[in-house]
Chains A and B, each alone.
Chain A
Amino acid sequence: MTANLVTANLLEIRDLRKSYGSVEVLKGVDCDVRAGEVISIIGSSGSGKTTMLRCINMLEEFQGGTIRIDGEEIGFTTSGGQRRRKSDKDIARQRALTGMAFQQFNLFPHMTALENVTLGLVLVRKMGRDEARALGETWLDRVGLLSRKDHYPSKLSGGQQQRVAIARAIAMSPRLMLFDEVTSALDPELVAEVLQVVRTLAEDGMTMMLVTHEMRFAYEVSSRVIFMNGGRIGEEGNPREMFAAPKTERLAAFLQSSRFN
């Protein structure tokens, strides 16, 4: 299939299926993402939005369908109907194609802010110490935390921790950034500083997918919004049109219940 060789899509998801035991969480999701797109994934809890994000970097193993980044199949090799999990080493390399920021930040508590950012650069990107430090400092500066580079996570506020976590992910120069409810665990007054960082990245042309409950933010920064409903994509499109005139009743109800302002 030549389509895969000359694809313009950065990410291609085809018929993605995932279940926990007998509970099917993703029931066949198709989704294409072009470079530079900013996609917000919304939907009620249990709709499969976080699971979909976690499948893209193989934090969840999925049972059916394919995910490709730049045409390369993620996690599994499919040939002649046979599906085989790739080696841990290959999967580790593929995970570095994407960057992820988590709801709970997940900074390494025994490392300073800078060490958190440089760990992957040294171990995965095989950078020299000095080069890694310089790049790490550049990114901490970009998220406004260069002055805190030698602080341990426990000495940083939640908002600062999340900004370090974003710097840690983005410093790896991923092809695609995944944000999993990055403001949900934050006190309200700390949300803005994190969203500002995400907004700047979007403006720089970073391709990203965000699972979020911040409807106003989704409305403002996204080039496209995906509404997940019951393990499928319920509706997708330009945020202005979708929010103004939802095509499905489900989306209308969801927007009603999470009405911003």
Chain B
Amino acid sequence: MNAPPSFVDIVWIARWPLLYGLGTTVAVSLLAILGGTVLGTLLGLALTYGNRVVRLLARAYTDIVRGTPVLVLVLASFYILGTVGLDLSAFQAGVLALTLFCASHVGEITRGALQTLHKGQTEAAKAIGLTFGQTFRYVLGPQALRLALPPLVNTAAEMVKASTLLSVIGVAELLLRTQEVISRAFHSLEFYLLAGFLYFVVNYAIERLGRAVERRVSVQ
């Protein structure tokens, strides 16, 4: 008489799919954070220093993306890109949506940080004869980074959480893998707790890392 497999047994049997799922989650998040940070920094510069047209376009982009739920972005990206003939995988469409979302947040953070210190600092730099490039490189940039760091870390954790939405379009990240395992082997309570625990660990690690970096760069 065989006892039904316990939760631990099932986790062991399903360890590889779950680990791949976790890997996919990390990959999706990393790509979105990197892409979003690059794009968002440009966006923030456009919002702060662009001419009227550039500012208007950047503002429209940020407001539209920030006014739309991430899940809608993910679904729209998944369905629309196929329709217009761009043959992207669910993974690619999902990463694209998260990147666009992340960029809008980073854009706002960058703008906020730059605007906080804009005036007096720029004038002081001008007064000692620095060019705009030098001003940005040596005066504004480092200070803005310091101001922006805490919300950036926050955004990174939000992206990890948002990566779960890709399960809805069939990207086999951690949450979808978990659901697949549950559909075959039940134990939904335990498996959702396990997934929650893993997400918590990843995000908590990001949070701690952020705090450590913050302490390092904070002005004594």
Chain A directly contacts chain B within the complex, with at least one CB pair under 8 Å:
no
* A positions within 8 Å CB-CB of B: none
